[in-house]
Amino acid sequence: MPKPRKRIVDRKAIRAAKRPRCQVCGSTWMLCVHHIKSRGAGGDDVPENLVCLCADCHAKAHGGIISKTKLRELAGR
């Protein structure tokens, strides 16, 4: 049985994805970097998979209220 692949964490890419405002609503409250394709599903720390969101938009993204298509558009820069 093959060993599970260990995910490489690219802190530089995550720092680069941070913005002063939420990329959806413009809020400056509780910002974090969100993986569009989750790390558990094999999503990597690459610019095309990272978007900076406030806590409210982050919850909406996880709840499916903000679509992955919209998030990909924002990450495409």
pLDDT band of 27, cuts 50, 70, 90: very high
> Which residues neighbour 5 within 8 Å (Cβ) at sequence distance 6 or greater?
none
pLDDT band of 18, cuts 50, 70, 90: very high
Tens-place pLDDT, residues 30-63: 999 999 998 888 888 898 999 999 999 999 999 9
| Burial category of 24 from C-beta neighbours within 10 Å (exposed 0-12, middle 13-18, buried 19 and up) | buried
- As a whole number of angstroms, the distance between CA 22 and CA 31 comes to 7
Which pLDDT score, from 0 to 100, does residue 2 have?
56
Which pLDDT score, from 0 to 100, does residue 4 have?
54
